[in-house]
Amino acid sequence: MKLRSWNTILKVFKHIGKKLKMDTKDFTTPLYVIAVDDEPFNLELLKALSLKIYPDILTFDDPKEALVHIKKHPVDIMLVDYMMPYMNGIVLMKEAHLINSNILTIMITAAGDNEEIKLLALNEGAIDFLKKPLNAAEYRARMKNVSKLKRSQLILDDFNHQLEKEVARATQALIQREKEALKVLSNTAEYKDPETASHVSRVAHYSRLLAKAYGLDRHEQEVVFNASPLHDIGKVGISDAILLKPGKLDEDEMKEMKEHAHIGMKILETSENPFLKAGAIIAHTHHEKYDGSGYPRGLKAEEIHIYGRITALADVFDALTSVRPYKKAWSFEEAMDYLQEQRGKHFDPYLCNLFIKNIDEIRIIHKQFKSL
């Protein structure tokens, strides 16, 4: 690509950077340039020619030393002689590019070198050639172009880096807003419910722990964490007379109460948001039982979505170990006995094992969210 086109592209990028309020750099600082030639005289000549353009040019008469330097220090441009005793310029260039693929390499060829060598060097990644004996004016003109190209590359790399950071920041903000909306939604569900906010927090944490122990990946663990607090959202559709009734519900009232599973699913199922979609599954399945005796569909074992099986266990365990207007809090030991007794009946037996195995962490979560 011609340098003029590069400059136009760079202007566009700078403009976008400004619009996005990105902290783009100009890279007017000196470039790191090295020269490698087995002839010290040639290196002295290069130094002399570079006095004005690269006053800090570093020279190496041993290719191995040059490679050691590249490993430890930044290098932008490398001038390399083709004909060297034990490592020719192409081999050195390949090794150097393996260490730092952003180095721009200019191959210096002698008059006797044939065209095949030039072609090979180009194919292996050299961007330009200089012929010995070096012509001072040509050297400076070519190096000016190479420097421009390098600076363009640095600006573009920086732009990409800044853009990636910007996208990550924007995505994070979006996720944060999504989570806030979910929190508001689960707060709404809790508003009419005698259960407390700390109940949903504990259910969320217990559920995530179970999801992890079960082997669900990190994304699904997050989904379960954010969606499980919505398990009772359907209670917004149940009348206060039933929801807040102090005594036992009669058969009809119980029938209406059970509707909350279906209502919750209906509220959430149309959403494209993965958390709300998972919330719909959880709302619909958190009262199913492993042996098929649950509601609303009487699903059995693996027919019940894993999110539902996880939330069912977390929800019941937390209800048992919490104070409710009609009961005192069970001890962890009593609740664990209940889990054992309900293995394969109410709960997935494998999840019961995992829950009991991780009981120390469960205790920590229980303590942490006790006073909310």
Chain residues that interact with Fe ion, rule: CB under 5 A: 232, 315
Residue 231 CB, nearest approach to Fe ion (Å) = 6
Tell me the one-letter amino acid at 307.
Answer: Y
Owner of token pair 């969320």: 204
Cα distance between residue 39 and residue 349, in whole Å: 77
Shorter beta-carbon distance to Fe ion: residue 17 or 294: 294
Residue 256 CB, nearest approach to Fe ion (Å) = 13
> Is 101 strand, coil or helix?
coil
Shorter beta-carbon distance to Fe ion: residue 113 or 315: 315
Residue 323 CB, nearest approach to Fe ion (Å) = 14
**Which helix (H) or strand (E) element contains residue 128?**
strand 126-131
Residue 311 CB, nearest approach to Fe ion (Å) = 8
Distances (CA, A) of 347 to 144, 249, 320, 372: 73, 24, 14, 27
Judge contact between 79 and 35, C-beta under 8 A: yes
Shorter beta-carbon distance to Fe ion: residue 158 or 315: 315
Judge contact between 296 and 196, C-beta under 8 A: no
Residue 319 CB, nearest approach to Fe ion (Å) = 6
Residue 357 CB, nearest approach to Fe ion (Å) = 23
Burial class, 293, CB count within 10 angstroms (exposed 0-12 / middle 13-18 / buried 19+): exposed
The β-bridge partners of 107 are 80, 129
Shorter beta-carbon distance to Fe ion: residue 43 or 230: 230
> What is the separation of C-alpha 60 from the centre of its chain, rounded to a whole number of angstroms?
42
Tell me the one-letter amino acid at 269.
Answer: E
Shorter beta-carbon distance to Fe ion: residue 150 or 202: 202
Shorter beta-carbon distance to Fe ion: residue 45 or 312: 312
**Which helix (H) or strand (E) element contains residue 318?**
helix 306-320
Minimal CA–CA distance to 37: which of 3, 8, 80, 66?
A: 80
Shorter beta-carbon distance to Fe ion: residue 125 or 296: 296
Can you read off the two tokens belonging to residue 267? 């509220």
Shorter beta-carbon distance to Fe ion: residue 104 or 365: 365
b or e along 33-54 (b: 16 or more beta carbons within 10 Å of the residue's beta carbon)? Answer: bbbbbbeeebbebbeebbeeeb
Shorter beta-carbon distance to Fe ion: residue 37 or 315: 315
Residue 258 CB, nearest approach to Fe ion (Å) = 9
Can you read off the two tokens belonging to residue 133? 């004996």
Residue 241 CB, nearest approach to Fe ion (Å) = 18
Residue 201 CB, nearest approach to Fe ion (Å) = 11
DSSP states of 238-264 = S-HHHHT-SS---HHHHHHHHHHHHHH
Tell me the one-letter amino acid at 206.
Answer: Y
Judge contact between 139 and 49, C-beta under 8 A: yes
Residue 315 CB, nearest approach to Fe ion (Å) = 4
Residue 79 CB-half CA count within 13 A: 31
